[in-house]
Amino acid sequence: MDPLYKNAIGTLLTVYTDIDLLALELCADRISKAPSLEAKMELAHQVEEERIHFRIQEKWLNHLEMPFQSPIKPHHRKVLLDAFSGMDWFDFLSCLQIGIEGIGIALVEKVSAHADEGTRASLEIPIRDEKRQTSFGLRELAEMVEKTPFDERPALARRLSDNLSQLYRWAEHCLPVSFEEHWEVLGLSRQEMWETVHQKTLELFRELNLEPVLPEEFVCS
């Protein structure tokens, strides 16, 4: 395997693996505060899925001779855990199920399509499961939107957009990774990846029957 490619795909996979671990921690913390029994069961299900994803990808990273080491520093991880723990249900789902699992997995799919066979295999189950997790988040959020008066829905759309902006700022601050350089090694341009973010964000807003309010950070310059 070409060393430059190996470093790029290994670094990206390390980030994805750590995000799975973070999602596990966030869901485990949220179970006791979930608003319904069904939501508790869904979060518990996601905890188990994230555990499986972590182990699959950890094994492949070992094969690449790049053993997993969290790129998120402990104090940054605590900031994230504390922030998510203090969120209400709308904000939690916006950030985790829409931002991380929904928009994030669209980027992972692009990377997977340009990756080697072993990496694609390590991402197959996570991609499948995280689409299911996004569907859960969409169902829960759609119920909240449905209960919101029409004249208040633009404010809800702005709130979702603000949550996605905050998630982007956290990623920039807590993940010291040059994503664009690694994408380029895989033959993926900055514009292509940001257009993917843009399109997926529009799609998710529409699925919630909300007028899209895109964060400025999500529009490729």
HSE-CB of 62 using CA atoms within 13 angstroms: 6
Q: How many CB atoms lie within 10 A of CB 101?
A: 26
Tell me what percent of the residues of the chain surpass a pLDDT of 90.
95
> Tens of pLDDT along 89-141?
999 999 999 999 999 999 999 999 999 999 999 999 999 999 999 999 999 99
Q: Which residue has the tokens 């998510």?
A: 84
pLDDT digits (tens, 9 = 90+) for 131-148: 999 999 999 999 999 999
Burial of 79 (C-beta count, 10 Å sphere; 0-12/13-18/19+): middle
What is residue 220's predicted lDDT score, i.e. its pLDDT? 55
DSSP letter (8 states) at residue 187: T
Tell me yes or no: is domain 3-218 CATH 3.30.2270.10.
Answer: no
